[in-house]
Structure 1
Amino acid sequence: MSSASTPKYIHGYQEEEQERLREQAWVIERPIYDFIDFSEVKELLEIGSGVGAQTEVLLRRFPHLSITGVEYESRQIAKAKINMSNAGFGEDQIRFIHQDAKNLKLDRQYDGAFICWVLEHIPDPIEVLISMKPFLRPGAKVSITEVFNSTFYTFPVIPAIMDYWKIYNEYQVQIGGDPQLGAKLGDLLSESGYRDISLRSGGFHLDSCHPEEKTTVFNYWKTLMNSGAPALLSEGLVSEMQIKDMIGAMDQLREMPNSVFYYRFIQATAFV
């Protein structure tokens, strides 16, 4: 696909960003995967498999799975194959397919589907949910985890962080994404014809009672926010000084004993 036809992606595809995705999967693993059960699933369809960061966690937690990862960006697939090989997972456990998830053309059906941090980046995400449904067997289990970015809060509130976060989220909307998508998952699944839909809120509420985890999450979140900086900078939406001030403020909060980090994401489980 030419770069002209490739949709804008707030995080970009630099090698540094590809590594951040793996770190993200590790930092947020327990809040997500402690509430996912694919023990009864054998063949799993992963939409938006990226660099294989979540795929790696899935195979470590559920080694019996055979996973097909569908990814739009060929650079991510190339990195994913390296990551899977380095992690010791073979082609009998994972294969990657270069397709647009809105127009899937697969050669089999699956008894489970997994989507994590993907639909927020896709205009009209309901098209993905409809597109994948014919490739899921009756009774197939679907697990989706998505952002709800308006829940992000720190104490104390520092304008350098919150002003940047506002610009970051507005840009995601501008390029066709939805930083509040998690809140809409139930309706999207219902409109797409899925059944037995259940929703839960997961995330972080970290204070002086959790100093080590708070440090880890503040570091991770700073990296997440900074991952959008090249795009925001190139669009003229932020200055170098704004980026520097945001990073400094996140470091300040991380070192403050009584600071608070709060964020919620939404997980949906549904069936075909």
Structure 2
Amino acid sequence: MTQQKYLHGYQDIEQERLRHQAAVIEKPIYDFVDFSNHKELLEIGSGVGAQTEILLRRFPHLLITGVEYESKQIAKAEANLNQLGYSPPQVRFIQQDARFLELEKKFDAAFICWVLEHISDPIQVLKSMKPHLLPNAKVVITEVFNATFYTFPLIPAIMDYWKIYNNFQVQIGGDPQVGARLGDLLEASGYSNISLRSGGFHLDSRNPEDKKTVFAYWKGLMSSGAPALLEEGLITSEQIQAMQNAMDELAKKEDSVFYYRFIQATATA
């Protein structure tokens, strides 16, 4: 089956950005995740292992199986985790399409982070995953809600770029607002005990260093889509530079504000 286009690409710089991103946003996500009473975890869309690293550091007893479609990401994940001292059977990566999983065993936990936004039919992934989970297995999913992104002051160079970025994700079959739909998607896929929480950032003059860090992280996130947007003729190099310069200006501005919310769902199989 032809792979769906991926907004961020698989360049070396993007693979490293994913690891940096995971570290920056670790606390807002993982301070509300608890797999301490689970043993075998299935991670869908494990990518370069950026989230896998955090899961193993926080829950070192876990045995993790990561499923990833792209072979380049698996090679990078294996190298990253091996460098940190992790290897099979504690962690292993399998190349499969998450919409059509064929796994040898069942798991008592599952984790998905920043994946469903890139998939045209997320319900197909959730339904494909369910038969491979034990009864009452814990499922944690964290997803984007890009309509919530706001800065003060509002700068057209940033917001115009953001609109193009999100529209392209829709064009290639993704959903930059999928976080808002997690409750319905899980219910339609047959999961139960579904709960949702909103997490993210609201940074202003009270936390200047955190604000600088998150503006730099977000600039990298937005820039990661630039090669694809350029290739498609949707944006110019000048627009990319203007966005990046504006993000740098906001990071330095004392009274600037950064606001963004993601959605985290917890459910049972």
* Unaligned residue ranges in structure 2 (runs of 5+): none
Structure 2 counterpart of 1:26, one-letter code: A
Find out whether 1:155 has 2:143 as its counterpart.
no
Q: Which runs of 4+ in 1 moved over 3 A?
A: none
What secondary structure, in the 3-state scheme, does the structure 1 residue paired with 2:21 have? helix
Q: Percent identity?
A: 72
- The CA deviation at 1:90 is 1.6
For 1:204 and 1:7, locate their aligned partners in 2 and report how far apart those are by CA, in whole Å.
Answer: 30
Pairing 1:86-97 to 2, within 5 Å after superposition: 86-97=83-94
For 1:93 and 1:141, locate their aligned partners in 2 and report how far apart those are by CA, in whole Å.
Answer: 19
* CA-to-aligned-CA distance 1:127-181 (integer Å, 9 cap, x gap): 0000010000001000000000000000000000000000000000000000000
Pairing 1:39-188 to 2, within 5 Å after superposition: 39-188=36-185
* Unaligned residue ranges in structure 1 (runs of 5+): none
For 2:59 and 2:89, locate their aligned partners in 1 and report how far apart those are by CA, in whole Å.
Answer: 14
Find out whether 1:24 has 2:17 as its counterpart.
no
- The CA deviation at 1:60 is 0.2
What secondary structure, in the 3-state scheme, does the structure 1 residue paired with 2:223 have? helix
For 1:172 and 1:188, locate their aligned partners in 2 and report how far apart those are by CA, in whole Å.
Answer: 19
- Tell me the residue number matched to 2:215: 218
* CA-to-aligned-CA distance 1:95-149 (integer Å, 9 cap, x gap): 0000000000000000000000000000110000000100000010000000000
For 1:164 and 1:192, locate their aligned partners in 2 and report how far apart those are by CA, in whole Å.
Answer: 34
For 1:88 and 1:28, locate their aligned partners in 2 and report how far apart those are by CA, in whole Å.
Answer: 23
- Tell me the residue number matched to 2:264: 267
Structure 1 counterpart of 2:4, one-letter code: P
- The CA deviation at 1:92 is 2.0
- The CA deviation at 1:88 is 1.1
- Tell me the residue number matched to 1:34: 31
Q: TM-score, normalised by structure 1?
A: 0.98
For 1:9 and 1:268, locate their aligned partners in 2 and report how far apart those are by CA, in whole Å.
Answer: 23
For 1:105 and 1:173, locate their aligned partners in 2 and report how far apart those are by CA, in whole Å.
Answer: 28
Structure 2 counterpart of 1:132, one-letter code: M
- The CA deviation at 1:7 is 1.7
Q: Provide the aligned length of Structure 1 versus Structure 2.
A: 269
- Tell me the residue number matched to 2:197: 200
- Tell me the residue number matched to 2:247: 250
For 1:162 and 1:6, locate their aligned partners in 2 and report how far apart those are by CA, in whole Å.
Answer: 29
Q: TM-score, normalised by structure 2?
A: 0.99
- Tell me the residue number matched to 2:9: 12
Structure 2 counterpart of 1:47, one-letter code: I
In angstroms, what is the RMSD of aligned CA positions? 0.7
What secondary structure, in the 3-state scheme, does the structure 2 residue paired with 1:199 have? strand
Structure 2 counterpart of 1:54, one-letter code: Q
Of 8-17 and 82-91, deviating more is: 82-91
For 1:258 and 1:87, locate their aligned partners in 2 and report how far apart those are by CA, in whole Å.
Answer: 40
